Amino acid sequence: MLELISRPADMTPEWMTQVLRAAGMLAEGRVAALAFEFIGTGKIGDNARFTLQYEGAPQGAPETVVGKFPAEDETARSMAGAQGAYYNEVMFYRQLAGRTAMRTPTIYASVINAQRDEFILLMQDLAPAEPGSQLVGARLEQTRMVLGEAANLAAAFYADDSVANLDFVMSPTRDGSGALAQQYLQQCWPLFLERFGDSLAEEAQAFGFRYVNAHNHFATRHPGPRTLVHGDLRIENILFTDQQCWTVDWQTPQESSPLTDISYFLGSSLEVDQRRAWEVDIISEYLERLAALGVVLDRDACWAQYREQAMHGLLLTILGASFSSPGERSDLMFRTVIQRQLQHCLDLDAGDFLP
């Protein structure tokens, strides 16, 4: 059985050699030495790039690989482990990644402990692809790449009821997570407003209050066929080149509306003026991509789902900020995203779908 190494500083050349041989990446030779640097801006998991030095390795062995580990931040690590985020991601790659054409990194090894709070994912280094930034916002060409990837995922699992039976896929209608999340939101919202309310208009704050007291209704209401969604499809969880992108950070897979991921991306990852200018065309192209993949949906019904799912990301932003330690960059990110998301909800009259 492969040993669990859950801190980058504990990584050894021997462990790396064993993994790369098992993955078919190292037919002969061995990893003689390695070094690492932290990459990315994740809050509930840490990513490290390992640079490898070989002894007698064949041509084609990777020069670098990426490891994903539990967060060093104790608050974030405890919350993520208790909520199953690490387990969810490991199991997604093991069981579901191969069933969709959505681009994801190749996984060389995955290990998780019985308590589900310590893990490692060793994966392909996708450099020179780089994640976008919530602080900058997505360009139109990036947004069009993402809609294609979101369509690939939604079409692969559309109306697949078996997904809801997987213990690593969140299903509010089955597991009661909507009611529990509402309790957390009601507890966290006042403190969230203390930190970020000065940047939110009165109308936005009023909508947030209404939402946190009706989250369970939102989470369980969708009446149509569901699909597997990434759940946190924002620009910092996507690695881009000029031609294509890969989706990472699969800690929140769930069953939901096929409009969930694309609505969340537009609301969280685009500047407000650009989202307003692009959203009608983007949703039209998204439906065309789904139709080409065999999922034909009614346009008016889908626009209604797009409007309703504008609320999807509020949970992630409010609880994400509440269960992670304050920091200059992360606080600016949460502030930027909640402003965009609440304006998205107001622009689309998402409150029409609340009691």
pLDDT band at 42 (very low <50, low <70, confident <90, very high): low
Q: Which of 82, 108, 124 is the last residue of a domain?
A: 124
Q: Are residues 198 and 294 in the same domain?
A: yes
For residue 212, pLDDT over 90 is answered with yes
Q: Are residues 45 and 21 in the same domain?
A: yes
Residue 277: CB partners within 8 Å, gap ≥ 6? none
pLDDT in tens, 13-38: 999 999 999 999 998 899 999 999 99
Distance CA 83, CA 11 (A): 26
Evaluate whether residue 83 is within a structural domain.
yes
Evaluate whether residue 2 is within a structural domain.
no
Q: Are residues 292 and 147 in the same domain?
A: yes
pLDDT in tens, 185-208: 999 999 999 999 999 999 999 999
DSSP string over 13-51:
HHHHHHHHHHTTS-SSSEEEEEEEEEES--SSEEEEEEE
Q: Which of 79, 94, 124 is the last residue of a domain?
A: 124
Q: Are residues 206 and 274 in the same domain?
A: yes
Evaluate whether residue 1 is within a structural domain.
no
Q: Are residues 108 and 147 in the same domain?
A: no
What pLDDT does residue 224 have? 86
Evaluate whether residue 137 is within a structural domain.
yes
Could you give the 3-state DSSP secondary structure of residue 121? strand
What pLDDT does residue 223 have? 80
Evaluate whether residue 166 is within a structural domain.
yes
Q: Are residues 208 and 66 in the same domain?
A: no
pLDDT in tens, 311-346: 999 999 999 898 877 889 999 999 999 999 999 999
Evaluate whether residue 287 is within a structural domain.
yes
- Comparing CA positions, the residue from 79, 15, 71 lying closest to residue 48 is 71
Question: Which residue would you say has higher pLDDT here, 56 or 146?
Answer: 146
**Is the peptide bond prior to 70 cis by the omega test (within 30 degrees of 0)?**
no
Q: Are residues 113 and 195 in the same domain?
A: no
pLDDT in tens, 236-279: 999 999 999 999 999 999 999 999 999 999 999 999 999 999 99
Q: Are residues 145 and 95 in the same domain?
A: no
Query: What is the residue range of 118's domain?
Result: 8-124
Q: Are residues 244 and 118 in the same domain?
A: no
CATH code assigned at 22: 3.30.200.20
Q: What mean pLDDT is reported for the chain?
A: 94
Q: Which of 124, 150, 177 is the last residue of a domain?
A: 124
pLDDT in tens, 278-304: 999 999 999 999 999 999 999 999 999
Q: What domain count does the chain have?
A: 2
Q: Are residues 20 and 58 in the same domain?
A: yes
Evaluate whether residue 3 is within a structural domain.
no
Q: Are residues 148 and 166 in the same domain?
A: yes
- Comparing CA positions, the residue from 95, 118, 119, 93 lying closest to residue 108 is 93
Distance CA 312, CA 330 (A): 20
CATH code assigned at 208: 3.90.1200
For residue 57, pLDDT over 80 is answered with no
Q: Are residues 174 and 292 in the same domain?
A: yes
Residue for token digits 């809609």?
A: 147
